[in-house]
Structure 1
Amino acid sequence: MSEAATHSSTVAVARPELLASLDPLLREWLPRQRWFAGKGRPVTGFSLVGGVELLPPTAKLGLLHLLVRAHQPLTPAQGAAPHPGDCYQLLIGVREALPPRLAPALIGHLEEGPLAGRTVYEALYDARPAGVLLEALRTQARIGELRFERDRRQEIRDDLVPRLVTSEQSNSSIVYGDTFILKVLRRILPGNNPDLELPLMLSREGCARVPAPAAWMMADLDEETYVLGVLQPFVRGATDGWELALRELAKGEDFGAVGDLSGFGDLGGFGSEARALGRATAEVHTALARALPTVTLGHVQMGLLVDGMTERLEAAAQAVPALRPYAPGLRTAFEALADLAAEGHTWTAQRIHGDLHLGQCLRSPSGEWSLIDFEGEPSKPLAERRMPQPPARDIAGMLRSFDYAAHSHRPSVAGWADACRAAYCTGYAEVSGADPRADPLLLRAYETDKAVYEVLYEARHRPDWLPVPMAAIRRLAASP
């Protein structure tokens, strides 16, 4: 890490005129990124949280690591209370001119400031800056406020060729030689990020269902620690569960009426996969319950949980008129859970995945399932994502994912989703000893809460997909 380690100056980065010169370019570029959380609101300015030169920008190729806070008008949900703005991790390359291969990475040309006349771009597209990150992790470098740590039990070679994963993600990922994948977190919050915390815990528990972190990036600023990225083994040749489900569904394109599974054989081969995925989920939940404290949720705690679900339903019904006729029926799912808690029933809560769906699961060529991306829902506060919750929340997320896969097929095959959901719950029960279907009120409440979230999301971002969660809304609203 000799090159980056010797260029740890923060002088140029900290100069206010540098951020001022970047400001107009970032205002245009940042809102276009998939991982930018403040879409629909203009950016009114930026402030620098932290900055380090990983390669000096005065050289032929420079690399700036910036933690930048984007200031935007408040939403009605944020109220009138002061909001500091979201903090983003930026890796900015600096060149005199971009070669054609880096054209998609262009941020813009600087006309003024300390780097006037230079071109700035998204550095993760470029192999050399991406290699600087891996070398920093490999050598456990400390550069300014940046700290790179690693698990010495895992070998990290210095000759791994990087490539950026270009599919749309809520963060950014670089694959190194089909050996490791580095997840670069974009929206940065202070505190212990579960995307590092939980895989480390599971590794210590010997749970093989989650790739063990090989290295990680941190920043120490104003007595706060920020997790910036996690390097994990790359599951070579793996297929994510969503892609595998759609592939199996496509094999039955010539079946007859909706709900007729005769063209699929054994669920298109996915029934056994759903069952195995249920077993994998239960193994992860069991390991997390061993590694971290569990809590009991009684009448008071469940009342707060139900209140949150009800508030989300009311807000979504206000925003999406199509949801309003079903709101009374959906509310009964939450009321039934509250009534059960009032009778003295209790539930166990523990650390869970927090955002589980088919796309967060990888099937290796050998047939083994792994769970990835333990960050939770990025829109929620970090403290909320780290709270113990009933495992039924993860299970409900996966059940909804089977439903999405079935409805993405034309014509939709509700029976395929039902069979996969049953197989998944069966597999979960085989490992955990508790069948999620044995607590139907809890499962229905979490499925309803998830479907309400989906309706709001699709209405705002993908209106063509709105019929998918609305089909579940009709079913859940009519459930006894």
Structure 2
Amino acid sequence: MSEAASTRTPVALLPSLAPLLHSWLPRQRWFAGKGHPVAGFSLVSATELLPLDSAPGPGLLHLLLRVQQPGLPAPSAQDCYQLLLGVRTTLPPHLAPALIGHLTEGPLAGRTVYEGLHDPRLADLILERLRTPGALGPLRFDRSEVAPAIPGGLAARPLEAEQSNSSLVYGDAYILKLFRRVQPGPNPDLELPLALARAGCSRVPAPVAWYETTAPEPYTLGVLQPFLRGSRDGWLLALDSLAGGHSFADEARALGRVTAEVHTALAGELPTVMLTRPQTEHLAAAMTQRLEAAAQAVPALQPYAPRLRAAFDAIATLGMRGRSWRAQRVHGDLHLGQTLRGGGARGDGHWSVIDFEGEPARPLGERRRPQPPVRDVAGMLRSFDYAARTHRPWNPAWAERCRTAYCEGYAEADGADPRAEPELLRAYETDKAVYEVVYEARHRPDWLPVPMAAIDRLAALT
């Protein structure tokens, strides 16, 4: 970095960027602090991936930015976000939708700042960094030693379907997921696929390259994986099945087998533990605490709370009586939308599992904690129910057939049927439905009847 650049960034530039970011950040789909005022920003790191003084540009500035929102509970009140900002003298018309704003003061006064991922030239630069491992300031780019070399010159396009993160697709050959809200420590979406690749599990696309930062704290920032061109996600396939009046039981059974295969591979590569009385009591207490908080946030839950709490009390009681459960690393947020079935040249019904990040709203330490495999099973069972509820008229028999087939498929591959642990399965299904109620009440009120129907069913099991 030139002497001029080093005096311009990071400290000198942030005050001039702050007014633009105050307006732009809360409008982004991946910004987690919507509805709460932003009090200020502090820099974690700043790196010029492409010098900002290369007029007329573009320059590319990588920021790790801590956003101060005192109205949120800790640690969310100090969330850290990854930004990639393009800088030009004049923004071409095709980049107009990416505009963040014009700087009127500071070291880059008169320049335009925009979302860099929408600029093909800057997206190409990111791929070039991944093709040639090494360090640039606090950033480190790394590549798999066993993956084929990454070709250059692949056209990039943003994937618009992303929400909590951002993705770039390169030439229909690779997909780069960039984590927006980052937390210190290894991200499971890199850690677990690497472990599955070591185990030889073909159900998960193996990471090809990735980049991280180690200073001042370790953050996983992005992962490049093969793009499964022609694949369709399980959610859309399930909706097609419902719309056409077709059974989805064969697909559900196959998904059950795939889930068990992934669990077996993870258990072989990463440590497993036993949940005995203390851990079981802690698990039940955490579920109860989430239920109580949810009932305060969504009054419709309150009449059900005592009966729902009974599901959590049941596993605590079993723990007191000496019952224990095996826990291991799991997907953590498994549902139909996290599965892909091959199409085109791979139209053989091959299913893959993606997005091992876990529930992004939960702390990273919690997402990396070993948990009973039945947690993933419960997430998929809830997903079948969601799909059935979106169809008119509601088709509960479709969901029940899928739930049965999925558990049967899991048992075929694992040797143990998840329904053989009814108390634990019910507790995790209840915990997931409570989470869904809060999410829908906040973000999609029209969908609230979907998880509330599950709440009614689960409460009746008492």
Is the 2:10–2:45 contact (alpha carbons within 8 Å) kept by the matching residues of 1?
no
Is the 1:7–1:54 contact (alpha carbons within 8 Å) kept by the matching residues of 2?
no
Separation in 1, partners of 2:386, 2:97? 32
The residue type equivalent to 1:439 in the other structure is: E
Separation in 2, partners of 1:283, 1:390? 15
CA drift at 1:7: 7.7
Q: Which residue of 1 aligns with 2:366?
A: 384
Q: Which residue of 1 aligns with 2:79?
A: 86
Q: Which residue of 1 aligns with 2:292?
A: 314
Separation in 2, partners of 1:363, 1:337? 35
In the alignment of these two chains, the number of paired residues is 455
Question: In the alignment, is residue 342 of structure 1 matched against residue 320 of structure 2?
Answer: yes
Is the 2:277–2:320 contact (alpha carbons within 8 Å) kept by the matching residues of 1?
yes
Residues 68-107 of structure 1 correspond to what in structure 2 (within 5 A)? 68-75=65-72, 77-78=73-74, 85-107=78-100
Separation in 1, partners of 2:306, 2:214? 48
Question: In the alignment, is residue 111 of structure 1 matched against residue 104 of structure 2?
Answer: yes
Which of 160, 169, 178 aligns to 2:163? It is: 169
Separation in 2, partners of 1:358, 1:276? 12
Q: Which residue of 1 aligns with 2:380?
A: 398
Which of 438, 441, 447 aligns to 1:456? It is: 438
Q: Secondary structure at the match of 1:142?
A: strand
1:242-267: CA deviation from partner (whole Å, max 9, x where unpaired):
11111111113xxxxxxxxxxx3xx1
CA drift at 1:14: 2.9
Question: In the alignment, is residue 435 of structure 1 matched against residue 417 of structure 2?
Answer: yes
Q: Which residue of 1 aligns with 2:275?
A: 297
The residue type equivalent to 1:391 in the other structure is: P
Q: Which residue of 1 aligns with 2:198?
A: 204
CA drift at 1:169: 1.6
Q: Give TM-score scaled by structure 1 length.
A: 0.92
Q: Which residue of 2 aligns with 1:351?
A: 329
The residue type equivalent to 2:368 in the other structure is: R
Question: In the alignment, is residue 216 of structure 1 matched against residue 221 of structure 2?
Answer: no
Which of 107, 110, 127 aligns to 2:120? It is: 127
Q: Which residue of 2 aligns with 1:370?
A: 352
Q: Secondary structure at the match of 2:214?
A: strand
CA drift at 1:151: 1.1
The residue type equivalent to 1:358 in the other structure is: L
Residues 267-278 of structure 1 correspond to what in structure 2 (within 5 A)? 267=247, 270-278=248-256
Question: In the alignment, is residue 63 of structure 1 matched against residue 60 of structure 2?
Answer: yes
Question: In the alignment, is residue 244 of structure 1 matched against residue 237 of structure 2?
Answer: yes
Seen in structure 2, the aligned counterparts of structure 1 residues 463 and 84 have a Cα distance that, compared at 3 Å, is: closer
The residue type equivalent to 1:356 in the other structure is: L
Separation in 2, partners of 1:235, 1:312? 36
CA drift at 1:168: 3.8
Seen in structure 2, the aligned counterparts of structure 1 residues 334 and 9 have a Cα distance that, compared at 3 Å, is: farther
Is the 1:13–1:51 contact (alpha carbons within 8 Å) kept by the matching residues of 2?
no
Q: Which residue of 2 aligns with 1:178?
A: 172
Aligned-residue CA RMSD (Å): 1.5
Residues 37-48 of structure 1 correspond to what in structure 2 (within 5 A)? 37-48=32-43
Q: Secondary structure at the match of 2:193?
A: helix
Separation in 2, partners of 1:228, 1:7? 25
Which of 406, 422, 427 aligns to 1:424? It is: 406
The residue type equivalent to 1:343 in the other structure is: R
Is the 2:44–2:65 contact (alpha carbons within 8 Å) kept by the matching residues of 1?
yes
1:363-412: CA deviation from partner (whole Å, max 9, x where unpaired):
11121111111111111111111110000111101100111111111111
Q: Secondary structure at the match of 1:216?
A: strand
Is the 2:84–2:115 contact (alpha carbons within 8 Å) kept by the matching residues of 1?
yes
CA drift at 1:337: 1.5
Seen in structure 2, the aligned counterparts of structure 1 residues 304 and 9 have a Cα distance that, compared at 3 Å, is: farther
Q: Which residue of 2 aligns with 1:156?
A: 150
Question: In the alignment, is residue 408 of structure 1 matched against residue 401 of structure 2?
Answer: no
CA drift at 1:15: 4.1
Q: Which moved more, 1:283-292 or 1:240-249?
A: 240-249
1:9-33: CA deviation from partner (whole Å, max 9, x where unpaired):
9615534231000000001100111
The residue type equivalent to 1:211 in the other structure is: P
CA drift at 1:96: 1.5
Gaps of 5+ in 2: none
Seen in structure 2, the aligned counterparts of structure 1 residues 294 and 359 have a Cα distance that, compared at 3 Å, is: same
Separation in 1, partners of 2:460, 2:106? 62
Which of 169, 189, 194 aligns to 1:195? It is: 189
CA drift at 1:143: 1.0
Q: Which residue of 2 aligns with 1:17?
A: 12
Q: Which moved more, 1:210-219 or 1:163-172?
A: 163-172
Q: Secondary structure at the match of 1:113?
A: coil
Q: Secondary structure at the match of 2:37?
A: coil
Q: Give TM-score scaled by structure 2 length.
A: 0.96
Is the 1:13–1:53 contact (alpha carbons within 8 Å) kept by the matching residues of 2?
no
Separation in 2, partners of 1:111, 1:281? 53
The residue type equivalent to 1:72 in the other structure is: Q
CA drift at 1:297: 0.7
Q: Which residue of 2 aligns with 1:257?
A: none
Separation in 1, partners of 2:220, 2:4? 21
CA drift at 1:84: 6.3
Separation in 2, partners of 1:338, 1:225? 36
Separation in 2, partners of 1:185, 1:208? 24
Is the 1:213–1:231 contact (alpha carbons within 8 Å) kept by the matching residues of 2?
yes
Is the 2:10–2:43 contact (alpha carbons within 8 Å) kept by the matching residues of 1?
no
